[in-house]
Amino acid sequence: MLASTPARVAIVIAALAAVVAGYRWWNSPERQVNQLLSDVATALSHESAETDLRALTAVASLQQHLTPDVSIDMSGGSTPIRGRQEVIATATRVRASSSMMRVQFFDPEIVISGDTSGTTRVTVQMTTRDASGQEVAAVYTVAMTLVMVEGRWQIASGRVLPEQGSTL
């Protein structure tokens, strides 16, 4: 049985609304930044020891996610890492020297300022193995500055925030 004309119109309008909503979600800056974080976690994570070449190959994908003059401040008195190539070289050394590392991002607070800049504050959990093979997790809060370059969100800076003390 054929649907009535008003029902057909309602179906077409609902389908168009779904297409528009899907398009807006797919192109949303928040979804793109979440994908950026997922790609960074994938590039840094590994489940077994690797050679330097394999680590470099995995970490090389970070190039598209970092500005050329990116700055990473680990806090705690360490010297900030400056420049895309230095960040990639450091990430390669860390990945090659660890027997296992799992990086996960949780609860990103993404703020987009205009069309070409934004920030995110995110909880990062890094899980590694100690000498006895036990998994050890460390949790950090990281603030990042993001910029849109040639249609792609990139990390311009990252800073590990000091731990917040708790009061009872």
pLDDT in tens, 79-116: 999 999 999 999 988 888 888 899 999 999 999 998 89
Q: What is the pLDDT of residue 68?
A: 97
In this prediction, residue 168 has a pLDDT band, given cuts at 50, 70 and 90, of: very low
Amino acid at 91: A
Q: Are residues 87 and 81 in contact, defined by beta-carbon separation less than 8 angstroms?
A: yes
Highest mean pLDDT: which range of 60-64, 76-80, 95-99, 144-148: 144-148
Q: What is the DSSP code string of 72-110?
A: EE--TTPPPEESHHHHHHHHHHHHHH-S-EEEEEEEEEE
Q: Are strands 152-160 and 117-129 parallel, antiparallel or unpaired?
A: unpaired
- Give the three-class secondary structure for 32: helix
Question: For the whole model, what pTM was predicted?
Answer: 0.78
8 A C-beta contact, residue 117 and residue 131:
no
Alpha-carbon distance values, 59 to 17, 29, 32, 42, 56 (Å)? 40, 24, 19, 9, 5
Q: Which pLDDT does position 166 carry in this prediction?
A: 41
The position carrying tokens 């398009």 is 23
